[in-house]
Amino acid sequence: MLVIPVYDTLILSNVQIHVQEEVFSAAEIENIKNEDTFLIVPIREQKERGSLCADDFYEIGILAQASSVTNADGNLLFQVETGERVRIQDVFVQEDRVDASYEIVVDENDLSPEEAESCLREFKQYAEALVKDVPGNAVIRSYIRRWKTMHEAATNIGGYLALDAEERFAILAENSLKKRYHLLLESIRQMLSIRSVNEEIKNKMTKEQQDAYKVAAIRKQMKYLEEELQELDDENLSEAELFAKKIEAAGMPEEARREADRVLHRFEMEGSSGHEYGTLYDYLDFVTTLSWKEEPEMPLDLAKARKVLDKEHYGLDKVKKRVLEQLAVTSLKGRQTGSILLFTGAPGTGKTSMGHSIAEAMGRKYVRISLGGIRDEAEIRGHRRTYVGAMAGRIMEGIRRAGVSNPVMVLDEIDKLASEIHGDPASALLEVLDPEQNVSFVDHYLNVPYDLSKVFFICTANSTESIPKPLMDRMEVISLSGYTPVEKYHIARKHLLPKAVKDAGLKKGQVAIQQKALKTIIDEYTMEAGVRGLKKQLDKICRYAAVQLLEQEQEKVVVTEQNLHDILGKKHLHHDEALKKTMPGVATGLAWTQAGGEILFIETLFTKGSGKIQITGQLGDVMKESAEIAFTLAKAVYANQKKDFDKTDIHIHVPEGATPKDGPSAGITLFTALSSLILEKPVKKQLAMTGELSLRGEVLPIGGLPEKLMAAQRAGVKTVLIPQKNVEDLEEIPEEIRKKLTIIPVGKIQEVARESLGVELP
Ligand code: ADP
């Protein structure tokens, strides 16, 4: 949900306040107008909106709605109503908005209505005393008298109290209403003793209390003054002096320090009107915000790490086991050694979110760097500063964003790196990942070595095919092959639905999806290896529920198989029909694609001609070769059929939709389609196959068996032919899938023909 950061404000739950336009940034105003519910979350220090990071936010915030926006004298006035307090879980900072996931926290209501009433009265007295000397206080007083709750009072008066961010937060974070009221009363009393107003009220306090308050108040006042002095000091410093101070404090190694000092010197010489001023400023800003300090080593709590991984991801046992091993070794060695983990799999199989969990398990900061479409080496290694508009590369930019020197860095979509004329980004990346070299990685922009050896790298990719070999050598592939329907069911129940409910601003229990309905969503509304589509459908249901709850004033929305269609609309297209209605010349294959597995139909037809093959559809060269092998073989096998192959052309077509990545594995499917055409006999129903074919009729092994079998099961296939030599891989296949399919290993085309067409070949 959208997050609006606040700094010097005390906002409590269930109050109405007016907020002026200036308080928000332009982007925030747009965001608020678009989404009427948002979170107000206090931040630890006053910062530019663009430079916030997840750690700047306190972990407790408040739900809010902008109930109306009025236009007063050309300025917008927002009426904001706050709701319950929330505990912030994950914060996602983007350029022009911040989002967070959260859970509601409930106040501990340990204050009787009478006590609350008397606290409010006391508070009003103090508040009136505070404004005693303010000119025109009659109006303010009548305003004060209208306060109905302590929260309302505190929110209105919060700005006048001498509270720092920690103290404001302590009030917000306090669960007990009683304790919260005491904190508030305390702070207002302190305020009063600073001003030493209203003898009458002061007399109510004992002498001891008064002294204690006074001392506390003076201390506080001193602290404020000191801070203010510090700020004034800084304000009086010139930019160059300020940078000098920051460089001093940054703890850079010698070489970096020298470079920074050199740039600082030029910066001083250049002056603010010089044309290099901006570039030099940016550089100094960059190096002084980078973390140069070594982070304290945090011993790894393996049990806790395991818990974190289990909490955030269902299943994936092998992956988790391997991750924990890696964490243990990293912890013992003090740095990442051995291979870097590369998570591969279809979209939505949890690769990136696993990276996030690993960061949490290690108690480290998390940064994600998307490598998709990077063509220019400089995007990894930075531009030289002589270049106009020079910037640091993404790796160093990530380090800066993390604010530490040892984050968990997820290099996303490493297979989408493009290598082109502008150098080779992959070789730059190799340097980043190589433990021999990354101790002193030189970003061209930074121009001095930076130690990346403490960074914990994780890479993700859809497929390993396009990853250059040297990079592959540095990595260990951990494949996430997709989820079975049962796994998806549990993921939806335990993770996706609760999150979708929260994101839609609903409460637990306001949406219920019946078991059968959820199964239907999985089987008939999504066709995927991962769970992205499923997540989208659940989000859709929760949005629908939100509207129902508000419009119909219902208490709860129950999703059944009956109303599913109304909520989600049309089902996804199914291959069922095609699988059930077979005809001569058509066979069903299994392909491995970037999106997991897919079934594909291969269609063949004879036309008059001279023995040529015509191939259409989205086929690569390898697949064309497979088609030729299959045709040659078919001609040899069926030589004694009446067909005169020299007088006919054969047309092979693979309808679009599935874009197979691995051509050869369609070999036996091509052969089967041709056999079926030649023999004029349809292939058995709901049968699919995968296997490479040799010219001598042997079935050769293929890759991606788990993905292919899962795709077959999703599509409604009942029987699958797989290469004999892949039988060992069956261990990798979830029991649930193996049970639902009849899997027949085949070693020769004779077996293929027997199982698929029921014919005996010589
Ligand atoms: P990828 O990076 O593989 O494309 P993501 O990590 O973005 O996938 O995952 C997509 C969504 O699915 C995320 O919200 C993630 O939390 C959720 N998800 C994926 N796998 C699991 C799992 N095993 N348990 C719980 N949630 C999961």
Q: How far is the CA of 456 from the centre of ligand 1 (A)?
A: 20
Q: From 670, 497, 500, select the one nearest 587 (Cα to Cα).
A: 670
* CA of residue 352 to ligand 1 center, whole Å: 7
Contact 443, 259 (CB under 8 A): no
Q: Concatenate the DSSP letters of all residues of 431-486 into one string.
A: HHH-TTTGGGEE-TTT-SEE--TT-EEEEEES-STTS-HHHHHTEEEEEE----HH
Q: Are 362 and 547 in contact (CB under 8 A)?
A: no
Q: In this predicted model, what pLDDT tens digit does every residue of 578-595 receive, in sequence order? A: 677 788 999 999 888 777
User: Would you mind telling me the total number of residues written for the chain in this entry?
Assistant: 762
Question: Which token pair is 372?
Answer: 């998709």
Query: Which amino acid is located at 322 in the chain?
Result: R
Highest mean pLDDT among 16-25, 90-99, 122-131: 90-99
Question: Encoding tokens for residue 392?
Answer: 């640091």
Across 725-746, average pLDDT:
90
pLDDT, one tens digit per residue, over 413-453 is: 998 887 665 677 888 888 899 888 888 999 999 999 999 98
**What's the rounded mean pLDDT across residues 672-689?**
92
Mean pLDDT of all residues in 33-39: 83
Q: What ligand 1 atom has the least distance to the C-alpha of 460?
A: 2
Q: Ligand 1: which atom is nearest the Cα of residue 349?
A: 3
Average pLDDT on 110-123 reads: 82
Give the Å distance between the CA of 366 and the centre of ligand 1.
16
**Beta-carbon contacts of residue 487 (< 8 Å; ≥ 6 apart):** 314, 315, 734
> Which amino acid is residue 630, in one-letter code?
A
- Which atom in ligand 1 lies closest to the alpha carbon of residue 313? 24
Please compute the mean of the pLDDT values over residues 705-721 and round it to a whole number: 90
CA of 144 to the centre of ligand 1 (A): 51
Using 50, 70 and 90 to split pLDDT, how confident is the model at 259? very high
Give yes or no for residue 197 having a pLDDT over 50: no
Asked if 118 contacts 124 with a C-beta cutoff of 8 angstroms, the reply is no
Torsion angle of alpha carbons 174, 178, 182, 185, nearest 10°?
A: 110
570: which DSSP letter?
Answer: S
Ligand 1 atom at minimum distance from 346 CA: 3
Among all residues, which ones are annotated catalytic? 665, 708
Residue 686 is given by DSSP the state T
Assigned token pair, 537: 């459908």
Other C-beta atoms lying within 10 Å of the C-beta of residue 464: 15
276-299 pLDDT, tens per residue?
Answer: 888 888 999 999 999 998 888 777
3-state SS of 326-390 is HHHHHHHHCCCCCCEEEEEECCCCCHHHHHHHHHHHHCCCEEEEECCCCCCHHHHHCCCCCCCCC
Nearest partner of 42 among 101, 86, 105, judged by Cα: 86
Distance in Å, CA 101 to ligand 1 centroid? 15
pLDDT at 49 > cutoff 90: no
Buried b (16+ CB within 10 A) or exposed e, 516-533: ebbbbbbbebbbbbbbbb
| Residues whose CB is less than 8 angstroms from the CB of residue 223 and which lie 6 or more positions away in sequence, other chains included | 164
697 near 749, Cβ under 8 Å? Answer: yes
448-484 per-position pLDDT tens digit: 999 998 899 999 998 888 888 888 888 889 989 889 8
Roughly what angle, to the nearest 10 degrees, separates helices 667-679 and 749-757? 60
Atom of ligand 1 nearest to the CA of 312: 25
Average pLDDT, the chain: 84
- Measured from the Cα of 499, ligand 1's closest atom is 14
Identify the pLDDT of residue 201. 46
Percent of the chain with pLDDT over 90: 23
How confident is the model over 689-703, as a mean pLDDT? 91
Helix (H, G, I), strand (E, B) or coil at 515: helix
The C-alpha atoms of residue 616 and residue 390 are separated, in whole angstroms, by 47
Q: In angstroms, what is the span from residue 498 Cα to ligand 1's centroid?
A: 14
Among protein residues, the one with the nearest Cα to ligand 1's atom 17 is: 350
- Check: CB of residue 98 under 8 Å from CB of residue 117: no
For the CA of 353, the closest atom of ligand 1 is 6
Mean pLDDT for the stretch of residues 499-524 = 87
Q: Whose CA is nearest to atom 24 of ligand 1?
A: 313
Which residue is listed with tokens 């606040």?
Answer: 6
Does 370 score more than 70 pLDDT? Answer: yes
Q: How many angstroms separate the alpha carbon of residue 313 from the centre of ligand 1?
A: 8
How far apart, in whole angstroms, are the C-alpha atoms of residue 603 and residue 655?
Answer: 8
pLDDT single digits (tens) 68-97: 777 666 677 778 888 889 999 888 888 778
149, with CB counted inside 10 A (0-12, 13-18, 19+), is middle
Q: What is the DSSP string of 168-209?
A: HHHHHH--BHHHHHHHHHHHHHHHHHHHT--HHHHHHS-HHH
CA angle 112, 116, 122 (to 5 degrees): 145
Mean pLDDT along residues 607-612: 84
The closest residue, in CA terms, to atom 20 on ligand 1 is 350
Per the CB < 8 A criterion, the answer to whether 600 and 658 are in contact is yes
Write the residue with the smallest CA distance to atom 10 of ligand 1: 348
Residue 35 CA to ligand 1 centre (angstroms) = 25
Per-residue pLDDT at 496 exceeds 90: yes
Residue partners of 696: CB distance under 8 A and separation at least 6: none
How far is Cα of residue 213 from the mean position of the Cα atoms in its chain? 48
- Which of 353, 360, 594 has most ligand 1 atoms within 8 Å of CB, for mutation? 353
Q: Residue 194: which pLDDT band, with cuts at 50, 70 and 90?
A: low
Determine which residue's CA is closest to atom 22 belonging to ligand 1: 313
- Name the DSSP class of 731: G
Q: How far is the CA of 535 from the centre of ligand 1 (A)?
A: 9
CA 487 to ligand 1: nearest atom = 23
Q: How far is the CA of 725 from the centre of ligand 1 (A)?
A: 32
Out of 495, 522, 538, 594, mutate this one to test ligand 1's pocket (max ligand atoms within 8 Å of CB): namely 495
Q: Is the pLDDT of residue 126 over 70?
A: yes
- Ligand 1 binding residues, C-beta < 6 A: 313-316, 345, 347-353, 460, 491, 495, 530-532, 535
- The sign of the torsion formed by the CA atoms of 150, 155, 161, 162 equals positive
pLDDT of residue 573: 61
In this predicted model, which residue has the larger pLDDT, 507 or 261?
261
Q: Which helix (H) or strand (E) holds 487?
A: helix 485-491
Backbone angles phi, psi at 577, to 5 degrees: -60, -50
Tell me which residue has its CA closest to atom 18 in ligand 1: 350
- Distance of alpha carbon 244 from alpha carbon 296, whole angstroms: 26
Distance 61 CA to ligand 1 centre (A): 26
| 3-class DSSP assignment, residue 596 | strand
What token pair was written down for 548? 């129902």
pLDDT at 497: 92
**CA 178, 184, 190, 196 torsion-angle sign:** negative
Please, what is the Cα angle at 38 between 33 and 40, to 5 degrees? Answer: 120
Mutate to test the pocket of ligand 1, among 316, 370, 531 (most ligand atoms within 8 A of CB): 531
pLDDT value at 620 more than 70: no
pLDDT tens string 373-384: 788 888 899 988
The per-residue pLDDT for 205 is 58
Rounded CA separation 426/209 (Å): 69
Is residue 337 within 8 Å of residue 379, measured between CB atoms?
Answer: no
> Locate tokens 């948002």: which residue?
38
What string of H, E and C letters represents the secondary structure of 80-139?
A: EEEEEEEEEEEEEECCCCEEEEEEEECCECCCCHHHHHHHHHHHHHHHHHHCCCCCCHHH
Q: What pLDDT is stored for residue 198 in this prediction?
A: 44
Residue nearest to atom 16 of ligand 1 (CA): 353
